[in-house]
A and B are shown apart, each in its own frame.
Chain A
Amino acid sequence: MTYNTIDWKTVKNIGYLTLAAPPGNEMDTLFFSEFSHLLKKIKSNKSLIGLIIQAQGRHFSSGANIDQLLSIFSGNEPGIPKFLKNNNEAFMTLSNLTIPVVACLKNICFGSGLELALCAHFRISSPNLLLSLPETGFGIIPGLGGIYNTHKCIGAAKTLQFVLTGNSLDAPEALECGLIDRIVDKNDLNKVAVKIILTVANNYAKEFKTIYLRELFAADLPL
């Protein structure tokens, strides 16, 4: 099956999930349903040794289409709409993968785009980057684990400030506080991502738990 908003391929057992709606890679309802479908496929693919999440064009992603997202709530359906439950499940599947997942970020990475990146074990970025969770400015909050995962990286005090102000962080700031793991030249993003995956694949048991993957990277995994 081919997708309209995502480009999916595997090369030498590494999966490449490429956001393919440039220039902004806005995440609309079609994207989310394609993403859910693809994640099920990735989860059951036992030959993968790693996953790279990247984006076509200048930016990683400007996040969800807010108007479209809010329109889901114009009816009076109680509880969590099925659409969001599916998104949640897909994001959780991504977080719980036991193969290394590397997100390659660049320029704009806002809202759900950042929430997606936060599901990865490693985040590497080009020197040009702006990270933000601007949801509170629209009267909502990040709802796909963005708050949980940000807290895991930078703690309660900074998360409150990041989420409640909606202020953006550039690459050095994001590196300093731990929201991204490395800054690399934009032409090297792919090379470094592959290197991370191969290092983990060649040196550690496949079942290695995701938490250790993150800690290894924090402890300067030999790259």
Chain B
Amino acid sequence: MNEISSKDHICFVWLDNKPNNYLDKPEFVNTETLNNIVIKNQCKAIIITGRNRHFSAGANLDNLKLLAKNGSLKEEISKGKTLLALLRSFNLPIIACIEGVCFGGGLEIVLNADVKIAGKKALFAFPESNLNLIPGLGGTLNLSKITGKAKALELILAGNIIDAETAFELKIIDHLVEARSGLEKGLSLAKTLTENKDIDIIKAVVEAVRNASELPYEQALERETELFCMLAKNAME
């Protein structure tokens, strides 16, 4: 079962559903539990990764059909979106560590991360269109922001599987590492980013970095200065 844990102020979200870590529903871990663990343990970074051999093969289609049949699909997807929104709302660095397959819903989760690390043998795809579906958790939007419209259309409409190296070239992946060493790299990076750093500074930097791709220059700059002033005031107290 998927699980959330915390150690040394790092929150771990484990995808765990043998053998391929299919996601039984869009809210892949409990939103409230995530909130409680991050707050209670004063987490400074969030690592998302898969147990077993894979990150995740995506949504469990049988479940999805069932949800569609009984009319609760939209509600379930909106719960999934709420979870992803909460994940980002902490303004902590989100690091995804990927091995094996990372398809569909799995890739959508990854696209919410700030830092994406993949072992060399990882594989990526949005196979939804082959099943007459589209990615439903913001994947279309997040992918085209990273790769541009042309590549995003190709990946989503053709549904091709790409390897880690191609994903790295397309900037879907930030760090390419030896197979099965993604988590190790993610952990050391999380420590590098957060050790000896005040949580307020981490949050300010993460927010400012995200604003750079989400806000126009003038607004992003004003917010960056606001955050600066907030921290400067704290530093003087």
Is B truly associated with A? yes
Which residues from chain A sit less than 8 Å from chain B, CB to CB?
Answer: 69-74, 79-81, 84-85, 88, 91-92, 95, 136, 138-148, 151-152, 155-161, 163-165
CB pair A160–B229 under 8 Å, yes or no, is no
Instruction: Other than A73-B232, A142-B224, A143-B229, give 18 A-B pairs with Cβ distance below 8 A.
Output: A72-B232, A73-B229, A80-B222, A88-B221, A88-B222, A138-B235, A139-B235, A140-B201, A140-B228, A140-B231, A141-B204, A141-B228, A144-B221, A148-B221, A160-B193, A161-B192, A164-B93, A164-B192
Cα distance, A156 to B193, chains bound together (Å): 13
Smallest Cβ-Cβ distance to A79: which chain B residue? B229
CB pair B194–A164 under 8 Å, yes or no, is yes
Smallest Cβ-Cβ distance to B196: which chain A residue? A137
Segment with Cβ contacts to A, from B12-20, B119-127, B209-217: B209-217
Q: Which residues of B contact A69 (CB under 8 A)?
A: 232
B101 within 8 A of A: no
Q: Indicate the member of B204, B218, B225, B231 with the most A CB atoms within 10 Å.
A: B225
Cα distance, A145 to B234, chains bound together (Å): 20
B197 within 8 A of A: yes
Given contacts A156-B210, A165-B192, contact A74 B225 (CB under 8 A): no
Q: Using an 8 Å CB-CB cutoff, how does the interface string of B91-130 with A read, 1 for contact, 0 for none?
A: 0010000000000000000000011100000000000000
* 20 A-B pairs whose Cβ atoms sit less than 8 Å apart in the complex: A79-B226, A84-B229, A88-B221, A92-B217, A95-B217, A136-B197, A139-B231, A140-B235, A141-B208, A141-B227, A142-B228, A143-B228, A144-B221, A144-B225, A151-B213, A160-B206, A164-B192, A164-B194, A164-B205, A165-B193
Which residues from chain B sit less than 8 Å from chain A, CB to CB?
Answer: 93, 114-116, 171, 174-175, 189, 192-194, 197-198, 201-202, 204-206, 208-213, 217-218, 220-222, 224-229, 231-236
CB pair B225–A147 under 8 Å, yes or no, is no
B223 to chain A, nearest CB (A): 9
Q: Which of B93, B211, B233 contacts A73 (CB 8 A)?
A: B233
Q: Which residues of A contact B210 (CB under 8 A)?
A: 156
Q: Indicate the member of A84, A88, A148 with the most B CB atoms within 10 Å.
A: A148
